Amino acid sequence: MQVNGIEELLTKAKAAVSNCYCPYSGFHVTAVIEDENGGLHSGVNVENSSYGLAICAERAAVFSAVTRGQKKFRRILIYSPDGEPLPCGACRQVLAEFCDDDFPVILATPHSIKHYTLAELFPLRFKVGFTPDK
């Protein structure tokens, strides 16, 4: 249930861009996830000279929310001023841990806003005990 538009999420996501740490890719990404109570939790991408240690903005936002005791979410907005911020496979799996197939994933740039569901981005998710029909 969305209680308002995405303006608040977008404003918060844009405000966090300056906190991104992405000296290697130069690709700034922020994410704001809204919990079931309307609380907003931000994340930014944080890269590392040992590339595999980097964390994406989406996972940073989810982990921040979980750290604060939130595990049910309404939607996430992912923003980049540098291009369309499609979430990587790891982030899609992390979202799938907490969110249903119809969970809204909003991708924003300064020039576009696109709405997806988690199932559109991550069909046939991995889940313990889940067996896809084949």
Task: Point out which span in 3-11, 38-46, 54-62, 99-107 binds Zn ion (CB under 5 A).
Answer: 54-62
| Distance from C-alpha of 32 to C-alpha of 5, rounded to nearest angstrom | 13
Contact (Cβ atoms closer than 8 angstroms) between residue 76 and residue 30: no
Contact (Cβ atoms closer than 8 angstroms) between residue 54 and residue 27: no
DSSP H helices, 16-110, are 57-67, 89-98
Contact (Cβ atoms closer than 8 angstroms) between residue 72 and residue 36: yes
From residue 91 to residue 130, the character string flagging contacts with Zn ion as x (rule: CB under 5 A) and all else as - is x---------------------------------------
Catalytic, 58? Answer yes
- How many residues of this chain bind Zn ion (CB under 5 A)? 3
Contact (Cβ atoms closer than 8 angstroms) between residue 95 and residue 76: yes
Using rule CB under 5 A, residue 88 touches Zn ion = yes
Output the smallest distance, CB 24 to Zn ion, in A.
15
Select the residue interacting with Zn ion from 13, 56, 95, 108 (CB under 5 A): 56
Using rule CB under 5 A, residue 33 touches Zn ion = no
Catalytic sites, residue numbers: 58
* Residues of the shown chain interacting with Zn ion in the complex, contacts defined by CB under 5 A: 56, 88, 91
